[in-house]
Structure 1
Amino acid sequence: MAIKVLMPALSPTMSEGVINKWLVNVGDTVSAGDILAEIETDKATMEVEAVDEGEITHLIDTTPDKQIAVNSVIALINGSKDERLEDYNDKDQTVSSEEKNEVSETPKVNTEVDNSQIIERSKDSNTKQNTNFASPFVKKFSKDNNIDLTLIKGSGPDGRIIKKDIQNFELHINDENISVIEPSSIRKIIAERTTQTKNEVPHFYLTIETRMDKLINLRKKINSNSNIKISFNDLIVKACAMAIAKNPETNISWVNGKIHQYKNIDIAIAVALKEGLITPIVKEADTKGLAEISTEIKSLVKKANQNKLLPEEYSGGSITISNLGMFGITEFQAIINPPQSSIIAIGSIIEKPVVNSGSIEIGHTMKSTISADHRSLDGAVAAKLLKDFSDILEDPFQIWLNSMDMEVI
């Protein structure tokens, strides 16, 4: 009996994946645990292992950037020769018999005909042929976008117009200064997810300004007495975890119409990659000291840039920290990362005149903006979380008391 190898779901949000390359060939003998392929997901590049031993008999086509649905059969071990992968999967893109050109008998015609009628009939025939010889996706897309299929040359079987052809079709682009770039699979997924999130998740935004002078001084003292250098982001992650501990009702996610309440406080951090974004998780951040958090974040960022994060290292959490302060951005609004309920956008620390006890002095401030999902969080609840977060940063001795793995003096 054939052993099916499926496209794995490597994260809760993954619906499709791309096979970067097969590491085996048809006819190879494999054992359980052998690496079969590299899979590119919306988060990272992962490896797929054989679940049993046997001979590789079938491998799915690895067309570049071909999106394959989760749980689709991508390979067979010990399959019979008369089996086909298509028999296991949906046939959304296969050619149906109804879509093939209909061949009819040539009617008898008079020997004398009008040339204009011949030209007109030929044009109608070509239009019908191009329209019929296209996949359902192409027909719908061309109709929705008012694209003339007779202008497109198909690259599929027997000249069939397929999805790739219409995606590559450049309509009304004559400027030589414009080059059309095919986005990577990760970029496509990010585009799809962010659009879906903004359309489906009711965002609301709250901003608070925080005095950062005491935190700046604390960081200087810590770094002058430790081999582990603490970043502002390390302190922010710790402060966020402590604020959530004070507001456990915010440690939630909206999943399939229900609210999931979490016991552990896991904080995601947004990491920019060359081709996109990923959010590795600092697990149980409220229980860890600054040194441990700093070391863990450095390790996660390094693995993220090497595409070596494991699914459990970027899945979960109820909130994300997105910090663009290093670029001089004073404030911004971030898009929530579903199924999480919130994300805090961190701006830069700026020096400016501030009022202190009726007097004006030079101080350092930072703006933080929380984007919250109104399905699971109300304004007052999110406001209290943000206020507690700000208060902890303004009184950072609380952070040090919860981080006894670091010495201040």
Structure 2
Amino acid sequence: MANAIEMPKLSDTMEEGVLSAWLVDEGDEVSSGDVLAQVETDKATMDLEAFDEGVLLRKVIDEGDTVPIGELIAVIGEEGEDISSLVGDGEGDGAATADPEAEPEPVEPEDPAGEPEPEPVEAAPEPEVEPEPTGDGQLREREPEPVPAGTDAEGRRIKASPLARRIAQEHDVDLERVEGSGPEGRIVRRDVEAYIEEREAVPEPEPVPEPEPAPEPAVAEEPTYAIPDEEAAYESEDISQMRKTIARRLAESKYSAPHYYLTVDIDVEKAVELREDLNELAEEQGRTKISFNDLITKACALSLHDHPYVNAAYRPDEGEIHKHNRVHIGIAVAIDEGLITPVVRDADRKGLSQIAQETRDLAERARNRDLEPEEFEGATFTTSNLGMFGIEEFTAIINPPNSAILAIGEIRETPVVEEGEVVPGTRMKVTLSCDHRVVDGAKGAQFLDTVKSYLEEPMNLLL
């Protein structure tokens, strides 16, 4: 029995996926666990595995196509099996396909009663082309309608994927000149790109220089300014699955969760000194060095124990607030396509060295789009650090369904007043974005005060 392969839900926020590459061909035998294709989701590029054994009978979509969750991608079954009920096109493997161009064979009418056969009905004549009047009172024949785009000279639609059509339109490529390599001769992205490369590889003939005209007497002219070409005013770029999800989720968060912001300036001189001492020891022992962000992760994780509403989620569909019993810190990592938040799980139970090692491993694999779904889902609180870019202070949008996110600014040297005297100081500003449906102002301020106390007396992070 043939089995349908549908677009799976590969992450908790995924709504559609892009089939980035097929790894098997039609007619290949596959076993359960074999990787059929690679799918780009909103978080990573992941393998699509087969759950059944058989032959790949049909690829329903092409590389580069975007399809929603649950839509048919391919069909696996026994060789020669009829799959028309799955693909819905009335075709089956091994079955003869009707030629739409072929004329039906005439059927001899039965005449048991010996009655005379009816006379054949003549075909309706083709409609005449109506002449239309011209301005001089004469008549002329109406111009034929232009051939629609994406069709050949005879008006038949050219088989091509939506992505191939868009690339062809952007590069002024006539699809009738492109040879398709997809199923049943369908034109896909790689065919159009190959045609464009071949076209650009042909050298253009060098222009024949025209004779220089005789110089004219110099005349003072007004300066002219080049007007930019409208078509070259911008470059278009397809929206990735990750960027689509970021736009949707953060827009929902910003306009559904009532945000408010609390900022505190922290004395981090002792924390900087502790980090230097710990890294000297880590270098001697060959362990991963600790970043200041690791200290903040640990401080937040311990603080969340004392402030459960900051470690909670608002669930309007269930009419509940979920106060999480475990602390999972999501750490925002910037990658080319946008932002992803790998999760350090049970951060409150881990030492600084373990947090440092896990954070670096997760961040590296996030940039390579090599994270598993369980490694970027399930955060109960999130941090975002732009201090390395010289940003002193900023506000972040809450990562749903969290109730808060901490925005971390740069560590700066600044004069401060201590005991009535101006002295050098080492400070850092952090801003907590809170969902007012869960975290009231006092609760948010108390959480920040606890975080501040850990960073100003960082030895408590080691206890």
TM-score (norm 1): 0.77
SS of equivalent to 1:178: coil
Corresponding position of 1:11: 11
Cα shift at 1:3: 2.1
Matches within 5 A, 1:250-265: 250-255=310-315, 257-258=317-318, 259-265=321-327
SS of equivalent to 2:254: helix
Structure 2 distance, partners of 1:42, 1:108, is 56
1:185 and 2:241 aligned = yes
Structure 1 distance, partners of 2:264, 2:151, is 55
Cα shift at 1:219: 0.8
1:219 and 2:287 aligned = no
Provide, for residues 191-248 of structure 1, a one-character-per-residue CA deviation record: whole Å limited to 9, x for no partner: 3333343333332221111111111111111112224311001101001101101112
Corresponding position of 2:290: 230
**Higher relative contact order (Cα pairs below 8 Å, separated by 6+ residues):** 1
Whose helix fraction is larger, Structure 1's or Structure 2's? 1
1:267 and 2:329 aligned = yes
Identity %: 41
Task: After superposing the two structures, state which structure 1 stretch, 361-370 or 377-386, moved more.
Answer: 377-386
Corresponding position of 1:115: 134
1:204 and 2:260 aligned = yes
Structure 1 distance, partners of 2:362, 2:457, is 28
Provide, for residues 73-121 of structure 1, a one-character-per-residue CA deviation record: whole Å limited to 9, x for no partner: 3222217434265559xxxxxxxxxxxxxxx99877876x4237999x9
Matches within 5 A, 1:2-401: 2-64=2-64, 66-78=65-77, 80-83=81-84, 87=88, 113-115=132-134, 153=149, 158=157, 174=230, 176-226=232-282, 227=285, 228=287, 229-255=289-315, 257-258=317-318, 259-401=321-463
Cα shift at 1:166: 8.6
Structure 1 distance, partners of 2:36, 2:159, is 32
Corresponding position of 1:134: none
Taking a change above 3 Å as real, the CA distance of residues 252 and 60 of structure 1, as seen in their structure-2 partners, is: farther
Provide, for residues 245-287 of structure 1, a one-character-per-residue CA deviation record: whole Å limited to 9, x for no partner: 1112221223453433321100000111122221100000000
Structure 2 distance, partners of 1:373, 1:159, is 52
Structure 2 distance, partners of 1:35, 1:160, is 27
Cα shift at 1:169: 8.0
Structure 2 distance, partners of 1:173, 1:63, is 33
Structure 2 distance, partners of 1:155, 1:333, is 52
The AA in structure 2 aligned to 1:83 is: S
Taking a change above 3 Å as real, the CA distance of residues 254 and 86 of structure 1, as seen in their structure-2 partners, is: farther
Taking a change above 3 Å as real, the CA distance of residues 212 and 71 of structure 1, as seen in their structure-2 partners, is: same
Provide, for residues 317-356 of structure 1, a one-character-per-residue CA deviation record: whole Å limited to 9, x for no partner: 1211110101110011112222222211100001111122
SS of equivalent to 2:48: strand
**Structure 1: segments with no counterpart, 5+ residues:** 89-103, 131-152, 402-409
Taking a change above 3 Å as real, the CA distance of residues 332 and 33 of structure 1, as seen in their structure-2 partners, is: same
SS of equivalent to 1:337: coil
The AA in structure 2 aligned to 1:73 is: L
Preserved contact between residue 155 and residue 162 of structure 1 (Cα < 8 Å): no
Structure 2 distance, partners of 1:182, 1:236, is 36
Cα shift at 1:160: 11
RMSD: 3.3
Structure 2 distance, partners of 1:237, 1:110, is 79
**Structure 2: segments with no counterpart, 5+ residues:** 90-123, 172-227
Structure 1 distance, partners of 2:309, 2:324, is 9
SS of equivalent to 1:343: strand
Preserved contact between residue 408 and residue 429 of structure 2 (Cα < 8 Å): yes
Preserved contact between residue 209 and residue 367 of structure 1 (Cα < 8 Å): yes
Taking a change above 3 Å as real, the CA distance of residues 8 and 343 of structure 1, as seen in their structure-2 partners, is: same
Structure 1 distance, partners of 2:75, 2:452, is 55
Larger radius of gyration: 2
Preserved contact between residue 75 and residue 85 of structure 1 (Cα < 8 Å): no
Structure 1 distance, partners of 2:151, 2:42, is 28
Cα shift at 1:59: 2.0
